[in-house]
Amino acid sequence: MAEPPHRGAGGWRGPAAAVAALVLVAGCGPPPGEAEGSGGLADDPKFVWAVTGADRPAHEAVARLWNENNPDRQVEVYFLAPTADEQRRALFQDLQSRAGDFDVLGLDVIWTGEFADFGYVESLEDLRPEVEGVSLPGALDSAQWQDELYALPYSSNGAFLYYRTDLVDEPPRTWEELYETGTAAAEEAGISGYVGQGDQYEGFVVTYLELFWSAGGELFDEDQTRSTFLEGDAAERSLDFMSRAHEGGLFAEGFDSMVEDDARALFQAGEAVYMRNWPYAIPLLEGEAGEESAVAGKFGVAPLPTFDGEGSTSALGGLNNAVSTLSDSKELAREFVLWAATDPGAQEALIEHSIAPTMLSIYEEAEDPNVQLLGEILTEAHPRPPVPGYNSLSLAVQDNVYPAYLGHEDPRKALEAVDRAAGEALGQE
């Protein structure tokens, strides 16, 4: 983990400077609505929210709702790149260079410890009573570091196994069953067996860890004092499954360079039997988002399989909103963060776009079976530990397990390197 040059708060730029910078960025980039840059949602912005450019319509709807209700305190959205690694880089750049263009930071659930440790985000501990019992407990846990809240839950995320109802009778319960039915149905239909997140980035880490957890593995002991990565055979078994899926043709060609939306596009074109993806894909696959879909009415969602057919393991994903210590609109930013966590309208805007909300009541009241299933998956979901050293652990998985599953590195060496990184990640507090 590279040490940023500065720690702690200080230095500010007014919203006017921030917006000027955003307009500049938007002015020379791709057309608005399609890529990174300002969302163009406010005519008189008072603060800026940096959030993922994936799931853009959902976050736009939330910002519009705020602006309608707060015409004198409008938020501008700055859409970051769609993948987690690029988002982290952009946020770090803003903070390290002390540009301070962003007031509210949409943080992936794995970054809390790191951003808190660097002094990049304000403590929101005093807001705990507002979210306790309101937000999903797992989402709340992910927003804290050393028992202190540094962000508030906003959107959650959990894995679905998408499957083609016209090609397989039942969703598989075990990875082996998935392997067999996936390769057989793929061969018959002349398409691929499985698409998902196989590129060398955080999404790959999620793919690997979901296999690892579903083989009974745990990264750390309960007190988070030491790595248990190599205990039992989960690390090996999950890597072995990936190598076999790569060599034996379960994974689609190009799996090793796919991020979420590549997989979604292939599945939507009818090119795969199975897909691991987040819930955002549902409306697109149904053909409800203005794009054609070859699989509308021909797919179902189920929990991911496990190795022994018992239970299911998804990684817990999602975003928490934090207040930047460089913000000069901290009060307003705090209010927005609290509103986005607790306002039923804001949280409903998420589920309307098939993005998992963090408010418990939405799941409790849900009638849509997919939302009910998502609620169950999220309750059981496995957190990636938001320790400050998480990023270096993630990079160790990316740098070692990725080449190993492609047959370019010795599996044992790769797993030992991850074990060392897991131990070191704990030491970097």
272: which residues sit within 8 A by CB, 6+ positions away?
Answer: 164, 186, 191, 192, 193, 194, 195, 252, 263, 266
Question: Is 336 in contact with 66 (CB distance < 8 Å)?
Answer: yes
Site map 143..162 versus ligand GLC, x via CB under 6 A: --------------x-----
The minimum distance between CB 69 and ligand GLC, in angstroms, equals 26
User: DSSP code of 333?
Assistant: H
- Interface residue with ligand GLC, options 206, 239, 272, 340 (CB under 6 A): 206
Q: Which two tokens stand for residue 67?
A: 């602006």
| Residue among 67 and 320 whose Cβ is closer to ligand GLC | 320
What letter does residue 252 receive in the DSSP assignment? P
Check binding of 318 to ligand GLC (CB under 6 A): yes
* DSSP letter, residue 4: P
Residues of this chain, 352-381, that bind ligand GLC according to CB under 6 A: none
Q: How far is the CB of 84 from ligand GLC (least distance, A)?
A: 4
Paired residues of 301 in beta bridges: 162
The footprint of ligand GLC on residues 274-293 (CB under 6 A) is 278
- Smallest separation, CB 194 to ligand GLC (Å): 17
Residue choice 108, 199, 210, 271 for contact with ligand GLC (CB under 6 A): 108
Residue in 18, 84, 322, 355 binding ligand GLC, rule: CB under 6 A:
84
320: which 2 tokens? 């928490």
At residue 291, what are phi and psi to the nearest 5 degrees? -120, 145
Cα separations in angstroms, 355 against 124, 281, 285, 370, 373 = 24, 9, 14, 12, 13
Our CB check for ligand GLC shows the closer of 179 and 255 to be 255
CB of 138 to ligand GLC, least distance (A): 12
Nearest to 359 by CA among 370, 372, 346: 346
357, 156 contact by CB (below 8 A): yes
| Closest distance to ligand GLC from the beta carbon of 92 (Å) | 15
**Of 49, 45, 44, residue with least CA distance to 60:** 49
Residues in contact with ligand GLC, counted by CB under 6 A, come to a total of 12
Site mask for ligand GLC (CB under 6 A), range 27-66, x = bound:
----------------------------------------
Helices 202-214 and 84-96: angle between axes, nearest 10 degrees:
130
For the record, the structure tokens of 309 come out as: 């057919």
Residue closer to ligand GLC (CB basis): 200 or 268: 200
Could you count the other beta carbons within 10 Å of the beta carbon of residue 138?
Answer: 20
Do the beta carbons of residue 352 and residue 283 sit within 8 Å?
no
Stretch that binds ligand GLC, among 102-110, 290-298, 341-349, 385-393 (CB under 6 A): 102-110
Sign of CA dihedral 23, 27, 30, 33: positive
* Site residues (CB under 6 A) for ligand GLC, limited to 410-429: none
Is 401 among the residues that bind ligand GLC (CB under 6 A)? no
Q: Is residue 109 at the binding interface for ligand GLC, with CB under 6 A as the rule?
A: yes
In whole angstroms, the minimum distance from the beta carbon of 422 to ligand GLC comes to 17
With contacts defined by CB under 6 A, name the span among 108-116, 208-216, 369-377, 408-416 that binds ligand GLC.
Answer: 108-116
| Binder of ligand GLC out of 15, 45, 193, 203 (CB under 6 A) | 203
| Residue 319 DSSP one-character state | E
Q: Is residue 346 a contact residue for ligand GLC (CB under 6 A)? A: no
Task: Tell me which stretch binds ligand GLC (CB under 6 A): 30-38, 106-114, 235-243, 265-273.
Answer: 106-114
Residues that bind ligand GLC (CB under 6 A): 84, 108-110, 157, 197, 202-203, 206, 278, 317-318
